[in-house]
Chain A
């Protein structure tokens, strides 16, 4: 029972008790007072009537008139004259009076009124005894009305007390609601802190919970920092801090295949052919310093975020630049800065820097792109400096306007005809049971009735600013799908959707109407959104999680070191990027790293799911590392 309800019950109980007591007290004191007054009235009136009768001639008619007159004009129940030997000489008795006083009230408060008795003299002789009894209905009437008024006042003051009490209680318990919310959040492993309320008891609770949250958070931060270290050890070159060969190649593959990657780009390979000689002449330490300077020069020349920079082997560096404006220009820049970084202007001899570049398109094979880059490098040896291998000389950097409008019409037609749907791939737990269906979008080309995958149309949709509409179509289709299908489904949401409050509200309202479906809807959000749009991300999660949706991050990997910052979100799961999962059974460094990820995710109440699992070896290893779910080509339901 809520506190307010209990307060009202208490008020009612106290008021009833108070009314009962004051009713009794007032009724009994009024009873005493009224009885007294009636007795005096009886006595005084009896004596004054007897006095009048004593003075006059004892003519029975005259006496009777006097008695009747007194009776008729006053308020009497009975006036009686008895002779000295006890016989009734004359008597007047009133009829019953009809009034609003209920019988039980009269019965509860009996008014005993003594009659007034006086002697009537006839000279020295006694003429008779006069008995006068006033009516007490008037007293009852007054008493009844008084008690009704009392009841009215008590009811009014009970309401007033209750209302005031409710207001006070509300102001007292307002911080309590916050405290409860925090406790529930911590129960759901969302380690939030709140401002300390003024109420002392609440304050100590909140202080304790804030302290707990703080400890968990700092523990998460330490864990994350350790994870970051593990990740760097596994994926980065120890000397320069650039991506190591293994990880860089995985990244190229991802860039060429992932649906969200740019459609075109360039791969640059920078070679220092003099490295062995330099090592001999300058010594190990100096060479290492020069290598670091080259790495720094590469980072400076490619400040854009999507650029990936790695060290392929001792003398070879690589830069992957998706969606680059001008390959030649960037090649010049990289080459010039690298040369500057390792050459002393005053030195007689110049260290040579070779640069080969290859242009790629989305979907090209990694080996093909690498061999193109190698070819360009070979040409650079001949041409002395840098060379670009365009692969296909007709490559179009900017897609033709006609192509853009063709895609636009294809996508919009599909959207209008509701031909944007999704395919389903199972995500299973360690026992082979379904967790949910992964649902990447697909779209039908109306003309050919052919369904194409997200990889093909999403880059175009992104360029055309249609991702939100596609998200919406997928969401709508998910609701329809869930009406007729059992298993939970997991849809993708783009950064644009997460940051759009209007669309968030639309999702919320659609799901609020069908809460049973909300329980079965999982939503994947790209990892970087959680950090780059932290505020909008939290609003999105709070809004939809309140309906029972499960929300998690997909393609988790690069920014795992920040996962501790999500202590207050209460995410349900993390999907670990396939670039890290690939060949996990052969990569002890990544194993250590992922074991740490699983531990920290578990601490924060999140499930870990591996993306892109290819085979049973990987699956077995992942299970051992603590993964609760897996998906990918190697994972098949039942």
Chain B
């Protein structure tokens, strides 16, 4: 609890009291909020702390809601709060997969960062990961007749294994079934758990974990306090 002290002033007195009283009840399995907040403060300053607090509020508020509400709230949260940008502008690298903290802290991200942040948040809210796929899609931009296409990534949600998925996209604010997304053509979808190999958490010591972008994100996330 001592870790909270530097942030008390920034949280406002009522929220601080609330936090002190109910801190235990808002803690989520798999998230070290203290650490997240501390890191956000160190790296991104007040705006970072505010983003993480807002994200925490989102988790707190939606944790007891039905899955569809969770999907909508999370989709809206990231689509509104995070501004789209290219990796090269944000990170100075051609293709960088950011962790939710990095995305929240900078309030910027590209399509993978949106998809990852939504996936992680929904997983923390209790949506089983085998219902979700990170899907590579080819996106046609500029209407049905446009020939402008772009590589893109979205988060697909399968209510049941054989169902049509719902698409959580940062290009549009709605969540729509796949059939209503004629502008997207699927290329490949992967289950994040599958890459974790049988659900076993990869060993941090194993250097091979860094070789895959997805594994790299997972490792960094764990270092930042989201497991």
Contact = CB atoms under 8 A, between A and B. Distances in A.
Interface in B144-164: 156, 158, 161-162, 164
B42 interface: no
Contact of B165 (A50, A114, A124): A124
Contacts of B198: 114-115, 117
B187 A54 contact: yes
B91 interface: no
Nearest to B162: A84
A99 interface: no
B88 interface: no
Given A54-B189, A117-B197, A118-B194, 12 more contacts: A40-B211, A47-B195, A85-B162, A115-B198, A116-B197, A117-B194, A121-B186, A121-B188, A124-B156, A124-B165, A126-B133, A126-B158
Nearest to B206: A36
Interface string A117-134: 111010111100100000
Chain B interface, >50% SS class = mixed
Contacts of B178: 123-124
Contacts, number: 61
Interface string B196-213: 011010000010100100
B190 interface: yes
Contacts of B189: 54, 119, 121, 126
A119 B191 contact: yes
27 contacts: A40-B208, A50-B188, A51-B188, A54-B188, A55-B187, A84-B161, A85-B161, A85-B162, A114-B197, A114-B200, A115-B197, A116-B197, A117-B191, A117-B194, A117-B197, A119-B189, A119-B190, A119-B194, A123-B178, A124-B156, A124-B178, A124-B179, A124-B186, A125-B162, A126-B133, A126-B161, A129-B194
User: Ordered nearest first, which 5 A-B pairs have the shortest CB separation?
Assistant: A84-B161, A124-B178, A117-B194, A114-B197, A114-B198
A37 B191 CA distance: 21
A557 B213 CA distance: 110
Contacts of A123: 178, 186
Contacts of A126: 133, 158, 161-162, 189
A39 interface: yes
Interface of A: 36, 39-40, 42-43, 46-47, 50-51, 54-55, 84-85, 114-119, 121, 123-126, 129
A54 B190 CA distance: 11
A573 to B, nearest CB: 85
Contacts of A47: 190, 195
Interface in B128-181: 133, 135, 156, 158, 161-162, 164-165, 178-179
A124 to B, nearest CB: 4
Nearest to A39: B197
Nearest to B137: A124
B211 to A, nearest CB: 8
A408 to B, nearest CB: 105
A634 to B, nearest CB: 103
A124 B164 contact: yes
Contacts of B133: 119, 121, 126
Nearest to A84: B161
B197 A125 contact: no
Most chain B CB inside 10 Å of its own CB: which residue of A51, A85, A125: A125
A594 B133 CA distance: 120
Contacts of A43: 195, 197
A118 B158 contact: no
Contacts of B190: 47, 118-119
Nearest to B198: A114
Contacts of A39: 197
Contacts of B179: 124
Contacts of A51: 188
B182 to A, nearest CB: 11
Contacts of B195: 43, 47
Contacts of B187: 54-55
A207 B208 CA distance: 69
Contacts of B165: 124
Nearest to B165: A124
A47 B195 CA distance: 9
Nearest to A124: B178
B198 to A, nearest CB: 5
A531 B200 CA distance: 97
A125 B194 contact: no
Contacts of A116: 197
